[in-house]
Structure 1
């Protein structure tokens, strides 16, 4: 599932945000030192390739990423800069760990606000222990909380002067198709980022990665890579459809007459019924899977709550509209980016969604969990 495989914009760019003076000192320190540590660990890809100590599988992956990087510029119109031309071995499972939180009867994520990124529905930590401590603090506020590892993030091009965003050990071993999608997604954020509108930003970048990933597999990948990815993506698409259906079911519960009447007992029973149905349907879905990723979503399902579903929605809900917009622009990347930038320049998230709907011709039939809250929570 893409949101939890590689959450993209600014999850770990706290260093940029903290430098504005908005964040508290502790958060500033972990953000700055964490990102600087990654930058210091990075070396140019040619250095890794020339090093006799670099393993043959890693060399093959690094060479592949440079082909992907050139394809991104040549075929997708993505920025040609120093990002993803270096590599860092982090010796840990994730680049950062994200904390997301939501009320007991809502999929709307709590926001943390920063001058550069605006208000985003997550807070990133370079230490898993620090992320868990933040999660415990949020639970005390009567919020449902999720903590998840983030293998990749983007600094939106702000660090290209210092070498750009590096490739990381946390995702270099991914299947070829997924590796291409990660690079495309992160670079898409360097083309466009709207402060304070996580759903718009992430749905746009997810659409770019999906369209671009399909192009890469069709034009550049071998048969084995395509077969590997077909199985990988089929399971992800099946799970995404199930999660979308569950988000819709939960949204209906939280907007029900029982919710409006404040009937907490009935509301809780309806919520638990929706969650039980989700887990039962997942068990049936998983029964038809095979291969190394058969159990890939077990942990997510066991911990699923409003925060987890709300975060996932940011990556899925507007993707069909962006994909249709690409088709309506003649599958022409410059035209597509120009139109997305026009829509992005509108002053509110509601206006952006309406304009995207009009430009794509897709009617949004359900309300999206939003992180562009009217109520802002400071960092």
Structure 2
């Protein structure tokens, strides 16, 4: 499909979205995507450009190897995605707005034609994201705005490499590519926890296999520590989230729930300080804790972790055979939503009996 036809398809797609947003939102989505498409350049052209900084050139050469590895070893789509480069001249590709009621962990959702109903709404301009977040705050919602370095158009377009993530270290760059390509491999409309958990497992497995086949040993060890600390961070957040869930479901008054909520977030900060004291100066999550934490922040964390153990267990059951694993994930994806949720929850508890999320 030519760029013109794809662009028209995008405009049609956005135009027939559900009534969750008005024309202004559709306009910024169209212009934002078109800007990215217009700025794309073939990686080969960027590499041959004498004005390209040496560090950028090295990263693009690394990406070429990672991209080929993804298709050859991880059986991810072999297409033109991540074969071009675009400099957006900003720190993030989009900013996602998350929201949740003051005394509930159930995130607000917005519905779109292809993506389905998701617990966030994306903006290509930071100020527009903040304006929308402010309007939600006025309605009493807990709100969180998070910058996103990359996103997948799910195969509608050939997604480019971006300046927003190209200078990440080897492991993080590999993980991002594998994660976004996984969304092109399997995606269930409206089931964000399924999609993100699946993509996270492909990200983790892909990085492991990349380093096993000759990646930088020092980078591999640094990545192992990052994963360990990310898991410890997630476990800490989910533990306190479980306490909040009990508080919000209790018969306490709203005033009592608000007071308990404040205490839980204070304890979360204190427990993080204790956890971090054993990390030898590693501070990747400090900025997260510098914010005014609320229920919306927790929605973003759960989104990427909820069913990771289910997919990791499934992959292990098939001896790491990705082709078989993908077929099994496709079967889960094709189940009716309610049935799929029951199956995933049952398998999650079987893999981790102590988990009650």
1:367–1:358 distance in 2 versus 1, CA, 3 Å: closer
Please state how far the C-alpha of 1:280 moved relative to its aligned partner: 0.1
CA distance in 1, matches of 2:121, 2:308: 23
Cα root mean square deviation, aligned = 2.0
SS in 2 for 1:100: strand
Please state how far the C-alpha of 1:194 moved relative to its aligned partner: 1.0
Instruction: Determine whether 1:325 maps to 2:321.
Output: no
2:3 is aligned to none
Aligned with residue 120 of structure 2, among 119, 122, 127: 122
Select the structure with the greater relative contact order (CA < 8 A; seq sep ≥ 6).
1
SS in 1 for 2:222: helix
CA distance in 2, matches of 1:14, 1:141: 31
TM-superposition CA deviations, 1:139-162 (whole Å, max 9, x none)? 111100000100010000011xxx
1:158–1:104 distance in 2 versus 1, CA, 3 Å: same
1:108–1:357 distance in 2 versus 1, CA, 3 Å: closer
8 Å contact kept, 1:322–1:356: no
1:371 is aligned to none
SS in 2 for 1:153: coil
Please state how far the C-alpha of 1:206 moved relative to its aligned partner: 0.9
Aligned with residue 188 of structure 1, among 170, 182, 187: 182
2:162 is aligned to 168
CA distance in 1, matches of 2:284, 2:227: 12
Please state how far the C-alpha of 1:364 moved relative to its aligned partner: 6.3
8 Å contact kept, 1:15–1:32: yes
1:358–1:244 distance in 2 versus 1, CA, 3 Å: closer
CA distance in 1, matches of 2:22, 2:329: 34
CA distance in 2, matches of 1:24, 1:339: 39
SS in 1 for 2:117: strand
TM-superposition CA deviations, 1:252-299 (whole Å, max 9, x none)? 2222342xxxx11221222122111100011112222335xx333222
CA distance in 1, matches of 2:353, 2:248: 19
CA distance in 2, matches of 1:243, 1:342: 31
8 Å contact kept, 1:14–1:124: no
8 Å contact kept, 2:17–2:113: no
8 Å contact kept, 2:17–2:111: no
CA distance in 2, matches of 1:364, 1:195: 28
2:336 is aligned to 347
Aligned with residue 34 of structure 1, among 22, 32, 35: 32
CA distance in 1, matches of 2:30, 2:113: 16
TM-superposition CA deviations, 1:282-333 (whole Å, max 9, x none)? 1112222335xx3332221132210010121010011001110111122111
TM-superposition CA deviations, 1:219-259 (whole Å, max 9, x none)? 2312122133234333323212211212222222222342x
1:100–1:16 distance in 2 versus 1, CA, 3 Å: farther
TM-superposition CA deviations, 1:113-154 (whole Å, max 9, x none)? 112211111000000000000001111111000001000100
1:146–1:14 distance in 2 versus 1, CA, 3 Å: farther
8 Å contact kept, 1:172–1:179: yes
1:289 is aligned to 279
2:241 is aligned to 247
| TM-score (ref. length: structure 2) | 0.91
Please state how far the C-alpha of 1:109 moved relative to its aligned partner: 0.8
Instruction: Determine whether 1:201 maps to 2:190.
Output: no
CA distance in 2, matches of 1:101, 1:21: 20
Aligned with residue 93 of structure 2, among 88, 91, 95: 95
CA distance in 2, matches of 1:15, 1:108: 31
Instruction: Determine whether 1:356 maps to 2:354.
Output: no
SS in 2 for 1:185: helix
Please state how far the C-alpha of 1:15 moved relative to its aligned partner: 6.2
Instruction: Determine whether 1:60 maps to 2:49.
Output: no
Instruction: Determine whether 1:237 maps to 2:231.
Output: yes
CA distance in 2, matches of 1:359, 1:237: 20
Please state how far the C-alpha of 1:74 moved relative to its aligned partner: 0.9
Q: Which runs of 5+ in 1 are unaligned?
A: 1-12, 369-379
Say which is worse superposed, 93-102 or 194-203, in terms of deviation: 194-203
2:137 is aligned to 139
Please state how far the C-alpha of 1:17 moved relative to its aligned partner: 4.6
1:279 is aligned to 269
Say which is worse superposed, 94-103 or 243-252, in terms of deviation: 243-252
